[in-house]
Structure 1
Amino acid sequence: MPPSAKDSGLGQGDGFPAYNPSRRRETPPKLKKPVPHYRHLIRWNDKQPAASLEERQMNHDLVVLRHALDLFLDLRMAESEALLKRGPQPVSANGAEVSDYASLNPTAVKRASQASSDKDSRASVAEDDSKYGSSKVKENDQASLSTEAQEKLSLGSSSGSEKKAKDSKETRSMYYDLGRGIIQGMRAIATFDPDEIAMGMQMFEQTIKTADKQRKGSMMGLGSVKAVGSFVVGTIGAGSFKGMTRVQKHAELVYAEATLLRTGLSVFYHMDLWMVLEEAINLRSAFTIIQGLKSFMDSVESELRAGKNIDHYQIDEHLVSGVTLSYALYNIIISFLPDVIIKMLQFMGFPSDRDWGMAMLAACGDWDPSAAAESPEEHKERLSSSANDGIRRQFCDMVPIIYHTIVSSFIPLKHVDFAFAKRINDYNLELYPDSPFYIYFKGRHLQVTSKLDEAIATYKSLKPVEARWHNFTHISVFEELMCAMMRADHDTACEKSRQLLKESRWSKCCYRYLTAITGLERGKESEKKKINSLMEKVEDGMQKIAGVNLFFETFCARKAKRYVKEGHLLLPSFDFMILWNSFDMMPPKALKRALDIISGEVHRLRELLPNKMKERENRPLAAKDQTIEAATGGYLSGMFSSNKNASAKESKVGSYENFYDDYCLAHFLQGNVAYHLAFFPEEPFDAAMCALALESFETVFRYAPLINDDTYTYYFSHYYKAKIWIHQGRLEEAEGRFKYLLGLTNTSVMSLPTLLGGKGKNSLELFLLLKTHSGQLDLEAAKTAADSGSVYSGK
């Protein structure tokens, strides 16, 4: 049971910092084990003749794929697709070697953009455009499988070279197939169209078949790579890979990558939890290969430290970046799962070390978060180094950027460093100045550092994307929408939400709700009929991923049903912003404006509060009476009468059925905004705002037993009060509050949280659980800081 409201005052303000430390650049983590620097193992001599025709072909394919990737990243998607659609160009046994390996460097590719291959790409694009003509499927009308899509599915692609796939003499390339699969997979994610997802799965299946033909059939010692051994503890030793040719090692890597990517699309396509279980064997098989390649790299690194010559292994930057990316992602993704699942996966041999995985990715790009800024000479060397240009290299850079600037906004994380993410992004933006990806990341960095005006300008600077990739721009449109909501700019919010509803397929449920509430906030009477119609359709747009409802869609559906029933919602934009942790990004000016709007609603609702409830507010309140659990049984005392029926009658506010839901929501929002003003990073601590936050949360606790549905306001109030106590140094009390929140969850086999108390289902319970676990990390950091005599710099 949580502590009583009586001992929650600020007192003299003892324990609070006079000045809030930065939460935007934390110190790098202390790693439990050393991080391998596989870049130092690169011994691929591009001047040395290839050992076989097969290797010569792979070298040529890697050059083309690197070029295609550079085109794709720099907003030239059609040229990239056309280059890959032409298919691999066979290299003759006595033909000239592909010697221009400088083209693996993105800068060199840009200089060579007028070369004949590029000219051929543009010609192919023109041919493609004329070929599609009026039969091209519209972006927003792909609900049914068209004839063209069926043809693509049966053939894997619409290009002429792939229509000859049945010809046994046709040259196939695992890297061409992988490149086409990745592009198709990205389009599937961008459109969320079942046809596109199915085509992506088909292409990855073809990649798996092509790579499998180039894998080593059998190995000494532990047997074939294909026979991965035991599902639980099966591994492949480093010695198995030492006996492989360079092509065979690449084939193993591509086979594993394609398996993972096909599995991911399969889960999206079937939207079924059982599919996740069915694909677990494939995930384990792929990981076994990745683990074996890592063991091989570790063994070679040991030989290098011992002074041995490792040139004969011919390790290249493509293999290094691939193994690094795959193994690091296993560590990072698994670390976000519930503890019970992590332990089960660790028993099966899967790794789970988030900090180590992030450090491994940084090492691939030779990034050091604690290093000083690069000199012009060092920066020039970085830009020209071919060691930075494995075909998975840019993906290794994207993960830390996404982790620091996006994931950290949804889940409070430790060791977040916005400046480090910006340094990586600036490097890539210099290579790809028109890239919609890195421009978006730039805008996101500005947004999370509370520079909303600059962020909006950056999002607007995105150049038009080709029609078939238009959906990628919707990420930036959504961020513009959220920035407008933070600034209470209802006109812009309406414009952006309507654009998303019209053009995007990602979440019709969410977009209908956003379009409705932004129109509701704008307050035009002429739009009310459209708003009512949208609210009625919100629930119909819900979808499931792996058999589970998306938490934000559940939230939108519940609120829409409330509106349909009652005809109003309280502060819906600010309410929705809780889902995106938008209050963390708002600058003081926007926070103060939001506080004025919310406090106005608090005052309005207080005027509706029954007099008998106002009279009893100063009475002593027992701890048990400020909980939702108090409403599930027994009589209420304290500010409520001893008779339960009388309490319900005295607290009733006319026909306002969910008055106390709104009353608690208004106070929670007021407390949330006040909390962020009190502890705004790199600003003086605001004791008045901290006091207002505590007072607001106490009001939520007082009226919690009368909440019907919006239980999340109560649980989040506990979370933020615990955060205030951490700042104040009341660590034991904060720990008790976190334990109370975690005690409301049911740690079943899947460890999906189910709040046992409470009358209404908390649609944000998973979100709350993640935040509470992260709050415990803050608590541990505060304890460490207290023991060392330093200042806690939590969020």
Structure 2
Amino acid sequence: MYHALGYSTILVMQAAMTFEQQDIQMGISTMKEALQTCQRFRKRSTVVESLSNLVSKQPVDQLSEEEMHAEVCYAECLLQKAALTFVQDENMINFIKGGLKIRTSYQIYKECHQVLQMTQGNKSKIETYHQFEGGVKLGIGAFNLELGLHQLREGASGSSLRAILCTFTLLVYHTYVSLILGTGEANLHEADSLLEPYLQKFPNGSIILFYAARIDILKGNFEKAQITFQECIAAQQEWKQIHHLCYWELMWCYTFQQNWLQAYRYADLLSKESRWSKAIYVFQKAAILCMLPEDDVKRTGEDTVSLFRQVDGLKQRIAGKSIPTEKFAVRKARRYASSQPVKLILPALEMMYVWNGFAIVGKRADLTENLLVTIEKEETALQNETNHSEYYMDDVCMLQLLKGLCLKHLGRLMQAELCFNQVIQSEKQIKYDNYLVPFTLYELGLLYKQQDERGKAIRFIETAKNNYKEYSMESRLHFRIHAALDSLKVTPASTP
């Protein structure tokens, strides 16, 4: 059963990386076979036992050791198959089937957790028991975030087959989830200590190198990260998708440094090679080209207007839902749909904010100063325009938000506060970018938190949460709000 689980897990990872229908199909069918293999070893219950289980729960400690492993492997297979079912196609039946699989998987993990707790005291320290323990900690950890981090840390520190999966899950949490969906304060100390033993053991492992470079980015060591990403790309050629992850990170590294030609190079590679999100890659490429002088754009042979016009046709749906960042890109690109396009203002920096990039580049005062110069130059150009477009106030407010973020990271907090307040006071004049005010209220709340003005911080963040609906990337902001209120030790108030 472990062989079946291991083999199918690799194919599921490949499917998740390629998004190719053929790979997804192969992952699903291999996972079906793995489920059947695990099923052969699971405890068989008679009809009478099944009925009595509905009335009173049977004790879970009656499982043999082999049956315990069968349960945890079955739950793991079920969870992975559910994940693939969601991306297989968009029909509602698959969506419901995926949801039911996840529920069943969670129930099994809960029962396995009970088994683990009941057998902790008398456990014989044999290798196979540690494998079962590692499997339960990975599953419970993946399902429950608060308890989960504790479970994953325990799983990562063990010596089971799944220790590395627990480690990778924690690394994803620290290097991506907490940044994009949190307040931007990643636990880099823990990420470093989790990765260190694997760096020693597998110094040329591409995934290990990838995380080492990602941690360097979060520390502001962009130049060092660029070298490690190149080593990661050179380390293997089988999974091009790991190259694509590196291209994405390299694109941002060069964006932070305002090296637009190099940033364009990696956005271009992504738009041509990766299937993850063509809409984002093409938008990103066009947004980066907007930052270059006209002559440089001509030398690339690209037409920015035509790139923006492609974005809408490239958006995709997963489990019947549009991807929020793609929807955002489509909305922004609409300014180029008419015969008289209205240019976007610093779209690459706006997208940097969407991905919480200012929290990263803010570690480097030199680069933050350079960004501030770019923003202020654009601000002056916008004020000097004689014919204001219908997007004028939206653009003014977007620049004020970005300017405020730079000033905040440079420690010029009073000036940052003025910029944020200008956006909030201009609310009635904003026509299209309705995300600006709730996001700015949130940023102002974080600014007050930084100054230990807890009451003010809570008030502004709660206002962003409760008073605004149906704006771009609403769920993303709500995740960030939850994290901010949690850090202020406040239970988020329910939305009226």
Fold match by TM threshold 0.5? yes
**Matches of residues 118-267 of structure 1 in structure 2 within 5 Å?**
174-218=1-45, 223=49, 237-241=59-63, 244=64, 246-267=65-86
| CA deviations over 1:287-343 (Å, ceiling 9, x no partner) | 2222222211111123x3xxxxx44998532212111111111112xxxxxxxxxxx
The equivalent of 2:473 in structure 1 is 764
Q: Which amino acid aligns with 1:715?
A: P
Give the CA deviation at 1:532.
Answer: 2.1
- Count of residue correspondences: 484
Aligned residues of 1:535 and 1:560 also touching (Cα < 8 A): yes
The equivalent of 1:132 in structure 2 is none
Give the CA deviation at 1:530.
Answer: 2.5
Aligned residues of 1:434 and 1:463 also touching (Cα < 8 A): no
2:489 match: secondary structure:
helix
**Matches of residues 296-315 of structure 1 in structure 2 within 5 Å?**
296-302=115-121, 304=122, 310-311=123-124, 315=128
CA pair 490-602 structure 1, distance change in 2 beyond 3 A: same
Give the CA deviation at 1:525.
Answer: 4.8
| Alpha-carbon distance between aligned partners in 2 of 1:228 and 1:431, rounded to the nearest angstrom | 50
1:398 aligns with 2:168: yes
Give the CA deviation at 1:672.
Answer: 1.3
| CA deviations over 1:81-111 (Å, ceiling 9, x no partner) | xxxxxxxxxxxxxxxxxxxxxxxxxxxxxxx
Aligned residues of 2:78 and 2:105 also touching (Cα < 8 A): yes
The equivalent of 2:155 in structure 1 is 364
Aligned with 2:397 (options 657, 664, 671):
664
Give the CA deviation at 1:700.
Answer: 1.4
| Unmatched segments (≥5 aa) in structure 2 | 492-496
The equivalent of 1:419 in structure 2 is 189
Q: Which amino acid aligns with 1:394?
A: I
Give the CA deviation at 1:275.
Answer: 3.3
Shifted more, 513-522 versus 587-596: the winner is: 513-522
**Matches of residues 316-327 of structure 1 in structure 2 within 5 Å?**
316-327=129-140
Q: CA RMSD in A?
A: 2.6
Aligned with 1:289 (options 97, 108, 120):
108
1:723 aligns with 2:496: no
| Alpha-carbon distance between aligned partners in 1 of 2:326 and 2:235, rounded to the nearest angstrom | 28
Aligned residues of 2:279 and 2:311 also touching (Cα < 8 A): yes
| CA deviations over 1:757-779 (Å, ceiling 9, x no partner) | xxxxx212222222222221233
The equivalent of 1:749 in structure 2 is none
| Alpha-carbon distance between aligned partners in 2 of 1:219 and 1:240, rounded to the nearest angstrom | 15
Aligned residues of 1:237 and 1:296 also touching (Cα < 8 A): no
The equivalent of 2:240 in structure 1 is 470
| Alpha-carbon distance between aligned partners in 2 of 1:314 and 1:568, rounded to the nearest angstrom | 63
Aligned with 1:603 (options 375, 380, 404):
380
The equivalent of 1:328 in structure 2 is 141
| Alpha-carbon distance between aligned partners in 2 of 1:215 and 1:490, rounded to the nearest angstrom | 57
2:144 match: secondary structure:
helix
1:532 aligns with 2:305: yes
**Matches of residues 436-515 of structure 1 in structure 2 within 5 Å?**
436-464=206-234, 466-515=236-285
CA pair 236-767 structure 1, distance change in 2 beyond 3 A: farther
| Alpha-carbon distance between aligned partners in 2 of 1:188 and 1:228, rounded to the nearest angstrom | 41
2:44 match: secondary structure:
coil
CA pair 723-184 structure 1, distance change in 2 beyond 3 A: same
Shifted more, 558-567 versus 474-483: the winner is: 558-567
Q: Which amino acid aligns with 1:238?
A: V
Quote the sequence identity (%): 23
Aligned residues of 2:205 and 2:235 also touching (Cα < 8 A): no
| Alpha-carbon distance between aligned partners in 2 of 1:595 and 1:236, rounded to the nearest angstrom | 65
Aligned with 2:371 (options 594, 607, 616):
594
| Alpha-carbon distance between aligned partners in 2 of 1:439 and 1:234, rounded to the nearest angstrom | 51
CA pair 300-331 structure 1, distance change in 2 beyond 3 A: same
Q: Which amino acid aligns with 1:549?
A: S
TM-score (norm 2): 0.91
| Alpha-carbon distance between aligned partners in 2 of 1:574 and 1:444, rounded to the nearest angstrom | 20
Aligned with 1:268 (options 66, 82, 87):
87
Aligned residues of 1:536 and 1:561 also touching (Cα < 8 A): yes
The equivalent of 2:347 in structure 1 is 572
| Unmatched segments (≥5 aa) in structure 1 | 1-173, 305-309, 333-353, 367-386, 609-652, 679-688, 746-753, 756-761, 783-795
| Alpha-carbon distance between aligned partners in 1 of 2:125 and 2:424, rounded to the nearest angstrom | 69
Aligned residues of 1:237 and 1:295 also touching (Cα < 8 A): no
**Matches of residues 531-570 of structure 1 in structure 2 within 5 Å?**
531-565=304-338, 566-570=341-345
Aligned residues of 1:272 and 1:545 also touching (Cα < 8 A): no
Q: Which amino acid aligns with 2:188?
A: F
2:417 match: secondary structure:
helix
The equivalent of 1:778 in structure 2 is 487
Q: Which amino acid aligns with 2:118?
A: S
Give the CA deviation at 1:248.
Answer: 2.4
Q: Which amino acid aligns with 2:38?
A: A
1:261 match: secondary structure:
helix
Shifted more, 419-428 versus 559-568: the winner is: 559-568
CA pair 455-781 structure 1, distance change in 2 beyond 3 A: farther
Q: Which amino acid aligns with 1:460?
A: Q
CA pair 265-577 structure 1, distance change in 2 beyond 3 A: same
| Alpha-carbon distance between aligned partners in 1 of 2:135 and 2:432, rounded to the nearest angstrom | 48
| Alpha-carbon distance between aligned partners in 1 of 2:185 and 2:271, rounded to the nearest angstrom | 36
The equivalent of 1:582 in structure 2 is 357
Q: Which amino acid aligns with 1:357?
A: G
Kindly name which structure, 1 or 2, has the bigger radius of gyration based on alpha carbons: 1
The equivalent of 1:700 in structure 2 is 423
CA pair 552-414 structure 1, distance change in 2 beyond 3 A: closer
CA pair 738-453 structure 1, distance change in 2 beyond 3 A: same
The equivalent of 2:409 in structure 1 is 676
Aligned residues of 1:465 and 1:473 also touching (Cα < 8 A): no
| Alpha-carbon distance between aligned partners in 1 of 2:125 and 2:410, rounded to the nearest angstrom | 60
Q: Which amino acid aligns with 1:675?
A: K
Q: Which amino acid aligns with 1:577?
A: M
CA pair 771-502 structure 1, distance change in 2 beyond 3 A: same
The equivalent of 1:52 in structure 2 is none
Give the CA deviation at 1:598.
Answer: 0.3
Give 1 or 2: higher helix fraction: 2
Give the CA deviation at 1:706.
Answer: 1.2
Shifted more, 199-208 versus 710-719: the winner is: 710-719
Aligned residues of 1:361 and 1:396 also touching (Cα < 8 A): yes
Aligned residues of 1:235 and 1:292 also touching (Cα < 8 A): no
Give the CA deviation at 1:218.
Answer: 2.7
| CA deviations over 1:529-577 (Å, ceiling 9, x no partner) | 5322221111111112222211111111111111333241101111110
| Alpha-carbon distance between aligned partners in 2 of 1:198 and 1:223, rounded to the nearest angstrom | 36
Pick 1 or 2: higher relative contact order, CA cutoff 8 A, min separation 6. 1
| Alpha-carbon distance between aligned partners in 1 of 2:184 and 2:141, rounded to the nearest angstrom | 18
| CA deviations over 1:647-700 (Å, ceiling 9, x no partner) | xxxxxx63512111111111111111111221xxxxxxxxxx112111111221
